[in-house]
Amino acid sequence: MRTPLSRLPIRLRLAVSVGAVTFVMLAVFGGAIRTLSGRHLQSNFNSQVTSQAETLGRTLAHPLALSMATGQPTDLTPYLSYVNGGVVRIYTYSGDFYEESANAPGLGSPLSYQAQSGPYQVNGYRVVEIEVRVGPDAFFMQYGLPLSLLSSELAGLDVLLILGVLSGAALAFGAGWLVARRAITPIAELTAAAAEIERTGDPTLTLPEPTADDEVAELSRTLSTMLASLSEARGRTEGALEQQRAFVADASHELRTPLTSVLANLELLEESLSGQDRELARSALRSTQRMRRLVADLLLLARSDVRQPAPAQPVDLADLIVAAAAELEPSSEDHEIELDVRRAPLMGSPDDLQRIAINLIDNAIRHTPPGTQIRASTRTLRDGRAELVVADDGPGIAPEVKKHLFERFARGAGEVSGSFGLGLAIVQAVADAHGATIDVKSSPRTGAQFTVRFPGLPAGQAATPGGARHEVAAPLTR
């Protein structure tokens, strides 16, 4: 079960724990001191009351004796004014009231001296009764000190103890914070090193090892060993992947020449045949063309994986989109391809850029029903970027397919013919290699739209001779 304390950082938890434990210990210790000191102060206060009463009794003995001898009351005011904040009431031995100090409250009925064993409390005063002997006679004197004097001493003690407990807990919290911070520093260094490894993806970076041979040092050594193992495994994996990429690239490159030869022979064979034989030759020609595109796709992806861009030159997207539409026109079935091309010069690989146009149009053909209109356009934006747009009025892209749209070998529902699932992955790879962005919009009512925006030509560059110098806005149908 998670507690509020468990959500705090470790160093703060340690400091809070140390401070809380210290607070409890000091509170218990302070409570014990308060109890013992309170009893001691009360005992001292009782002794003070008794001592002052006895002193005052001896002081009053002479004026009381004089009063009895003369038979005239003696003014006790000068004597009663020196009672240190206390009050006095004097009674005859028979219990009759005799004299009192100013503002003296009732201190209870006078008792026999023998019956009262010690100070007692009445009306907010600690009172003691003593017998004042005057020759053969005696008086009873009640002397009281206000309990507020004791309360003020106890309150001062309470404030002192509370401040001591809080100060001690605060000092313990601060000390705990400093100790925890110092203890966590090696872990913080490990965390920073791990974050750097995560940022760079380089497991060969070394982790700091604390000087003390403790649990943190053991953790650092364990993590270093783990990273070394991961680095070794990564090296083996990258080596195997590099071999696979090299094999795919070499195989694709080697296959281009025989496929070109096969295509040329099939084209000649198709022209020399007629009837059913010509249809068979035409079918073989289409399959070979598809295989040539697959080989070109594999070679392009292999080059993209090793980040080896093709040589760039000034090209015009208008030329490329016209060539792509012309290449796909025989296989467009009942789709209507409409072109709206305007000059859009940029720097790039003509073959790779044409693959973008071919794959986007081919993707629209494959994933829309017959009769769908496909619109392809190019233009130069005001900021100089070149824009390519391929849109259709088909059923759009399913949400579960859209998030995997540009992954390799991802194939969506609704295809009217088979595919290898590499078309849009190649579009993404070529766009990345040319610093382009891809924006995809989809709706079941308006269809899908792919917009690719490329950086424009650098200043002083011009499109290749023979590039599109005109505007085309016409349908291209089968």
Q: Examine residue 265 and state whether it is found in any structural domain, yes or no.
A: yes
Q: Examine residue 171 and state whether it is found in any structural domain, yes or no.
A: no
Smallest CA-to-CA distance from 365 within 461, 473, 452, 290 is with 290
Amino acid at 291: M
Smallest CA-to-CA distance from 436 within 374, 352, 351 is with 352
Contact 456, 382 (CB under 8 A): no
pLDDT the model gives residue 455: 92
Q: Examine residue 159 and state whether it is found in any structural domain, yes or no.
A: yes
> Strand order of the sheet with strand 447-454?
437-443, 447-454, 386-392, 373-380, 336-341, 472-477
Domain count, the chain: 3
**What is the Cα–Cα distance from 96 to 110, expressed in whole angstroms?**
9
Structural domain that includes position 141: 4-102+112-165
pLDDT the model gives residue 414: 46
Q: Examine residue 175 and state whether it is found in any structural domain, yes or no.
A: no
Q: Examine residue 288 and state whether it is found in any structural domain, yes or no.
A: yes
Structure tokens at 34: 């308060």
471 lies in the same domain as 370: yes
430 lies in the same domain as 345: yes
Bridge partner residues of 134 (DSSP): 137
463 lies in the same domain as 416: yes
Contact 213, 186 (CB under 8 A): no
**What is the Cα–Cα distance from 449 to 392, expressed in whole angstroms?**
7
396 lies in the same domain as 267: no
CATH number at residue 373: 3.30.565.10
Q: Classify residue 201 as left (phi > 0), alpha (psi -120 to 50) or beta.
A: left
Contact 386, 343 (CB under 8 A): no
438 lies in the same domain as 365: yes
152 lies in the same domain as 225: no
304 lies in the same domain as 318: no
SS3 content of the chain, % helix, strand, coil (to 5): 55, 15, 30
**What is the Cα–Cα distance from 318 to 386, expressed in whole angstroms?**
10
Q: Which of 308, 326, 343 is the last residue of a domain?
A: 308
Taking only the tens place, the pLDDT of each residue in 315-327 is 999 999 999 988 8
**What is the Cα–Cα distance from 395 to 446, expressed in whole angstroms?**
8
pLDDT the model gives residue 6: 63
pLDDT the model gives residue 322: 93
300 lies in the same domain as 376: no
Sign of CA dihedral 459, 460, 464, 465: positive
> Rounded to a whole number, what is the largest CA-CA distance in the chain?
169
Smallest CA-to-CA distance from 117 within 200, 46, 62, 168 is with 46
Segments of the chain with pLDDT less than 70: 1-7, 73-74, 77, 80-84, 111-117, 210-212, 244-245, 248-253, 256, 303, 305-310, 409-420, 459-478
Smallest CA-to-CA distance from 449 within 352, 377, 341, 348 is with 377
274 lies in the same domain as 317: no
Bridge partner residues of 143 (DSSP): 88, 128
CATH number at residue 280: 1.10.287.130
Q: Examine residue 191 and state whether it is found in any structural domain, yes or no.
A: no
Q: Which of 278, 308, 338 is the last residue of a domain?
A: 308
